[in-house]
Amino acid sequence: MKCPICRHGYTRPGTATVTLERGASTIIFRQVPAEICDNCGEVFHSAEVTEALLAQAEVVVAQGVEIDIRRFAAAA
Ligand SMILES: [Zn+2]
């Protein structure tokens, strides 16, 4: 798709690292599927991926983990 941020580049499929902070917890997801702008580098995630990230983050927060680094796994 055409990048809505810079309006010049086009996004291409790739993977990105996403960091989420929730209260005292920091969760770093690696290898998250994303669309990345070839001009400005902005990263976009699908609604499904965003939902899965937030759901997994909630689990980590509930466990009281302060720092968690994991490879992203889509909900099966
Ligand atoms: Zn862009």
User: How many domains are there within the chain?
Assistant: 1
Does the structure show a pLDDT above 90 at 74? no
> Residue 61: inside a domain, yes or no?
yes
From the CA of 22, how far away is ligand 1's center (Å)? 27
pLDDT band at 23 (very low <50, low <70, confident <90, very high): confident
CA of 63 to the centre of ligand 1 (A): 37
What's the gap in Å between 41 CA and the centre of ligand 1? 6
Q: What beta strand segments (E) does 1-76 contain?
A: 11-22, 25-37, 43-44, 67-71
Q: In which band, very low, low, confident or very high, does the pLDDT at 75 lie, cut at 50, 70 and 90?
A: low
- Looking at the domain assignment, is residue 2 inside a domain? no
Ligand 1 centroid distance, CA of 64 (Å): 36
- The answer as to whether 6 is a domain residue is no
Residue 59 forms part of a structural domain: yes
39, 9 contact by CB (below 8 A): yes
**Is 32 among the domain residues?**
yes
Segment 29-72, tens digit of pLDDT: 999 999 999 999 999 999 999 999 999 999 999 999 999 999 99
Instruction: Classify residue 4: in a domain, yes or no.
Output: no
